[in-house]
Each structure stands twice: as structure tokens, then as C-alpha cells.
Structure 1
Amino acid sequence: MRIVRYQETESGEVSYGVLGADELITPLDGDPYGERRAFDRPARPLAEVTLLAPVEPSKVIAVGRNFAAHAAELGNQVPERPLIFLKPSTSVVGPGARIVFPEYTDELHHEAELAAVIGVRCRDLKPDEVPGVLLGYTCANDVTARDLQKPDGQWWRAKGSDTFCPLGPWVETELDPAGLRITATVNGELRQEGGTHQMVRPVNELIAHISAAMTLLPGDVVLTGTPAGVSRMSPGDTVTIAVEGVGELTNTVVRAI
């Protein structure tokens, strides 16, 4: 099942819905957590609405260096424990939205990632309990101002600036995260290609580790790491993140005004 969050073109009303194979959206009454009830109103053609980020997380928890080849390409070692950092909710944008290239960086990178979406409030999970708390999976671009990571120490600007967390295009609720291909293309050129089988630590282990320290809420997002091949983005570029079994997330890069 594909869960979308969308905005009506004329009224501006925002709703959740279920996207069918016929590209019609069945609106949901409320959010997709818990029991899902359809609104008593007609289905909406996908082409007639604007897709938004599929969830509104209270927080985005990300994992660094979870692909050995990516760690190596930046001259880093794979950490002994998962390297966890936060991206604020204000960094989240949806499919088709603009990634803003800030004036305080000269080196903006894409990072293609599989993102797990939490479906219920949870804490202190065991790895085998993780599948039961997930709403599903979506695509993510962990946009990074690479030249700010070391000078700042904390990655608050490098990872957390506005528009630095595109998500979408929807949440796929029926997906096995094992063995999925992950790619990033820039202006149609393949830059990143890898798979979830290359992860140092699998999704279930990562989320269990995170939940030992903090409560996860419905809609929270966990970014699970990026494969090798990260590269620069420039104003005017079109960047597409694709995750097998989920779909494609496309955004354009623009210079800050």
C-alpha cells in the first residue's frame, strides 16, 4: 500500500490518502496511523494534486557511515557503534520541492537513502520487534553541506539546514528492506548505486539501538545510511533518489535568494 500526503490545487487543503495502481488517491479520514478510515468523498487523480512529504515527523534520526564504501570514499572508518545524528523537522520537504543551496556553503552533496517511517509510539525495542512498529518506507536525500561538517563539529548546518531532507514520494507499507537497490542520478547521470545488502548494520538493528535512548513517535523518520558515490550538486541540477520497491524522489537545486 502506498500512503501519500497531498495538497488540493484549488483549496489548498492537505490530506492523507492511499494511492492505487490506477493513480487514483482514496482520501483518508485523519492520519494513516492506527485504524485507517476512508473519507466519504471521491477519489482524486494523482495528476490533479501536489504531493507533499508523506509524513510530518517530530524528528528525523539519521545514521552516518553505515556503508563501508561510503565511509572510505570520505576517508573515514566504519564506527564501532552506530553514528547517530538528528535533522530537524524544518529540514523536510517533499517531492518536486526545491533544495536551497545556501550562501554559507560551496560544496553541497546528495546522499541517497532508504528511510524507515515509525507507525506507533515506541521505545526500548528489540530488533525483532521493529517490523511491528513501522508504518513503512520511503526515499530520502540526506542533503549535506560537506565543507561545513568538520569546521562546525556539530552537523547542525551541514545536515540540518532548511530543505536538507527531501522525503517521498510516498510511504510503501509492504516492503522487505533486504536487498533493495538504491541510486541517485543528477541530471540523468547515475552518481550513486548500492544496495541495502551493503549496510554495516541492518534497519532493525539501527532502530532498536536508537529506541534505547529516545522515544520514537508516529511519523518519525530514520535515515539508514547512504552508499558510495556522493557528489556535488549545483544550482539548476535535478536530483532523483530511487529505492527499489518504493519509487523515485525528484527535486531541483536552486541558489538561495
Structure 2
Amino acid sequence: MRIARVAHADGVDYAVLDGTDAVLIADPFATTHTVRLGRRIALADVRLLAPVVPRTVVGMAHNTGPDDRRLPPQAFLKPARSVVGPGEPIPLPTTSEHVDAEAELAVVLRAPLAGHSAETVHEAVLGYTVANDVTARDLQRTDPLWTTAKGQYGFTPLGPWVETALDPDDVQVGLSIDGRPLRPASTAHLARGVTEILCHLAAHLPLGAGDVVLTGAPGEYGPLRPGGRVEATVTEIGSLANPVIHSNHPPHTGETPCP
């Protein structure tokens, strides 16, 4: 089942995608099962938004391939306000000269992780979506916490929807920049799979309904340029495309910049 968050003539709602229609549903994070509201809207009359509005976004560091198992699991936080949806622009900040796109599988939680074991942790998962973990590579080298490198506005595109029926352990993750495909790879190549990631986070962070976990980039990543277009894809989910623009925020707005 594909759950989307859609904007339509009367507002914003969650919906199940059914053929050429969006069937409006109750908040999937407030119920234990899908509650259809009885209204159908043609997909042509809605706009897909980021499929979730998280309170917390967590990413896994050093989880791009088997060699990373030599390192202990490590997570980083991204501001919830860095999330954008399908088709929304990614502004390149004036403070960076090298910004990369990283296509990843993202986990969307429906319930708190705390208290779960490896056998039950997937009960806390609503489903999976496509993420682009945009990263200012030059800032990453000078910021050991990666906050400025990964937390800029627009640096967490999510979408186009949440797929609830997916085996996350072996799906292809790909990236295309300005129409040029980069080398894809399977989530099976990640140093740590979804179950191990969620168990690690359950022991350390108070994550709950609506929160998002980025699992790592198994495939090739690449640089973004203003005026370009980036598309992240996960097989069995779909593709997430975003234009790339210059930031509309100048380095400073007064005569004297912040020191």
C-alpha cells in the first residue's frame, strides 16, 4: 500500500494511492489501521508533499558498505525543517562549494521504538520512502557532528510516498543527476541492515510515530549544480525528483556580517 500526503483544493490530507485516484484517509500515525474517509480525488488534482512531517530525522553515518562494520554504529541528527517533498527545490547554500546528493532508503516509524527487540522492532515501522541525504561535503570535513553539512534547508528531500509492503533488506537504490545515472547498489550491501539500525537507535534515542531514519547510501553519490535536477530512486517504491537552485538567502543581510 502506498500512503501519500497530498495537497488538494480543500487542504492537506493523507491518502492511499489507488490507480489514478488518491483516497483520503485518517492520520496514519494516530490509528493502528488504515481508516478511509470515503473521498476520492483524481491524482491530477493533487500535489504530492513530503509524505511525513517528522519531529526527528536520524541518519546513519559510516553505513555505505561492508567495510564500515569495522566502525561502531553512529547516528547523526538532521533538522526536521530540512525536509522538503517531491518537486521542491534544493537550495545550494552560499557557505559551501561542494554539495553532494546521496540516495537512500528511509524508514518511517508509526510507533515508539523503545522497548522493542530485533524480533518486534518492525512492528514500529509504518513503511519506507525514498530519501536524498544532501550533504555539503566541504563543511562535513570541518564539522565533526555534520550539523552544518547535512542540516541546511532543503537537505532532506523525502517522497514520493510511503510504501508499507516492502522487504528493506535487498532493494536497489539509485541516483541520477542531470539525467546521468550513477552506479546503483542494493541495501544488502549496507554495513548494517534496517533491523540492526533500528535496534541500535531504540537503545539510545526516543524516536516515535512520524519520525524518519535514513539508512545510508549504498550506491554512488555525486555533486549538485544550480539549475540541475536530481532524482533518487528505490525499486519497489519509486523516484524522488527535485530541482537544484541557488540559495535565495545571502550570506548576510546587513552591512556587517556575523563574525
Rounded Cα–Cα distance in structure 2 between residues aligned with 1:63 and 1:180: 17
Amino acid at match of 2:14: Y
Instruction: Name the counterpart of 2:256.
Output: none
Written as runs of structure 1 = structure 2, the 5 A alignment for 1:1-257 is 1-8=1-8, 10-11=9-10, 13-20=11-18, 22-33=19-30, 34-40=32-38, 42-68=39-65, 79-257=70-248
Secondary structure in 1 matching 2:244: strand
Scaled by the length of structure 2, what TM-score is found?
Answer: 0.91
Aligned pair count reads 247
Give the deviation of 1:186 after TM superposition: 0.8
Which digits, 9 at most, give the CA deviation of each residue in 1:210-243, with x for residues without a partner? 1101121111001000024211100111111100
Secondary structure in 2 matching 1:179: coil
Scaled by the length of structure 1, what TM-score is found?
Answer: 0.92
Secondary structure in 2 matching 1:227: coil
Give the deviation of 1:23 after TM superposition: 2.2
Which stretch shifts more, 222-231 or 29-38? 29-38
Q: Percent identity?
A: 38
Rounded Cα–Cα distance in structure 1 between residues aligned with 2:208 and 2:134: 23
Give the alignment's Cα RMSD to 1 decimal: 1.5
**Is the contact made by 1:65 and 1:226 (CA closer than 8 Å) also made in structure 2?**
no
Amino acid at match of 2:5: R
Give the deviation of 1:192 after TM superposition: 3.6
Give the deviation of 1:153 after TM superposition: 2.5
Rounded Cα–Cα distance in structure 2 between residues aligned with 1:57 and 1:219: 5
Give the deviation of 1:157 after TM superposition: 1.2
Q: Which runs of 4+ in 1 moved over 6 A?
A: none
Give the deviation of 1:125 after TM superposition: 2.3
Rounded Cα–Cα distance in structure 2 between residues aligned with 1:234 and 1:190: 15
Instruction: Name the counterpart of 1:74.
Output: none
Secondary structure in 1 matching 2:200: helix
Give unpaired runs (5+ residues) of structure 1.
Answer: 72-76
Rounded Cα–Cα distance in structure 2 between residues aligned with 1:46 and 1:110: 28
Give the deviation of 1:79 after TM superposition: 4.8
Amino acid at match of 1:6: V
Rounded Cα–Cα distance in structure 2 between residues aligned with 1:251 and 1:78: 32
Which digits, 9 at most, give the CA deviation of each residue in 1:48-93, with x for residues without a partner? 1111100111101100121237x8xxxxx65521121011100100
Rounded Cα–Cα distance in structure 1 between residues aligned with 2:240 and 2:22: 18
Give unpaired runs (5+ residues) of structure 2.
Answer: 249-259
Rounded Cα–Cα distance in structure 2 between residues aligned with 1:16 and 1:32: 10
Rounded Cα–Cα distance in structure 2 between residues aligned with 1:155 and 1:138: 23
